[in-house]
Structure 1
Amino acid sequence: MDELFPIGELARRTGLTVKAVRYYSDRGLVPPTDRSPAGYRRYDLAAVARLELVRSLRELGLDLGTIRQVLDQELALSDVAAAHAEALAVQIRTLRLRRAILTAVAERGSTPEELNLMHRLARLSETERSQLVDDFLMSVFGSDPVFAGIRQTLTAELPDHPSAEQLEAWVELAELAQQESFRSSVRLMAADYAVVVVRPGTLRERFAQLQRPVDPRWDRYLELLAVVNGWAALRHTG
């Protein structure tokens, strides 16, 4: 018969406390192999290996229910590892975005209101971040097919593994997109574009367009867009 160990020896071999071993044993993750005549739990070498796997999976953040399914071969360890790796990747991207926000706050001396806005932006999912920019572009250019190509070009899309610079640029770009005064300014620019380029109007309309100064925030939006999307720097040339 294989050698059996008391719970204290099992704890020593695995580097866990007796309390932790008893906890996993009570929940059926590492049941005792046998009991001594006095009723004390005893474990074999397979229990040592099983407990070490439990410890490793717990340290990686898996919940007990998932660990039980892996131990009982109801779930493939490779599938669980892949799913957990993706979940961790999402958490890492979120943490990097939050770090970018804190860096921006520290460097720019943001107000509490600006901090609240940036914090809200940091909590957005990938889909929600995309929707935020889409909403901005639809708000200023509308659904006119004339602007379809422009809307697509001006869409900011963070890569799967953005740099700190790209994250900080996205935060600032998102802040700009939320400013109603900026939206109004870009709407006027879009209207000017439609008058002069898309639907040429009267000489008076053209003259009015030429007299309107370009909002400097638009240049900044293009610069930030280039950083986020990994393009060469873009600037307004009109």
Structure 2
Amino acid sequence: MSTPVDPYRDWGAAYVLGSLSPGERREFEQHLAGCPECSGDVASFAGVPGILSVVPRDRALDLLEPDEEADEPPPALLTGLVAAERSRRWRTRVLVAAALVVAAFLGAAVALAVRPAAPDATTATSAAPPAPDVTLDQTMPSPVTASVRLVDEAWGTRIEVLCSYAVPDGPPPPVFAYSLHVVAADGTRTQVATWTAGPGSTTRPTATTGLPRADITGIEIRLVQKDLVLLRVTL
């Protein structure tokens, strides 16, 4: 008997990159609550938006050029984005990345078309400052501290995390897995990222959500093994 195919297995990359429709995003987030495999996929893609944001457009286009001499995706591309296990999943991610590159070019073209030829010096303003960091409060004593930065995006919100694991006195504790959850205005909690860290380490995971910044009322960091809330902040 063949194993049923999970129809959501190829949605992870599109979810992280914000290319799902609002209805699809809600459907997929409900599916994530009961599917460890898809939750793991979403966590593995968490850093992709940050990687894409620093790749020059010309380099991104070069990476999207097909390799006629190879049946498998170029190893350099897999290393630059995520370690893909199957060519099918690689093709899905490249198609989404291509859509982002095209959207970026279209956005730049529109900006050039409407930009004034010579802005008056008295009305010129500097770029908007980055969103301030928000420190999470400990719900219990632990060597883990963290802060987050919530950045408004057209498709939702990008969450940049700075998580530090101090070296406590006595025997060093083991490496643990942590998860990041966003709390919506209706009280629902959604996992958007996971990572591992050990004593003396500092991690900078990046997560994304389709929720607008105004609809996020809290952030939580949990110890995965026990689903225990270690850090929390109410926004």
Q: TM-score range by the shorter chain?
A: under 0.3
Select the structure with the greater relative contact order (CA < 8 A; seq sep ≥ 6). 2
More strand, by proportion: 2
**TM-score, with structure 1 as normaliser:** 0.21
Q: Which has the higher Rg, Structure 1 or Structure 2?
A: 1
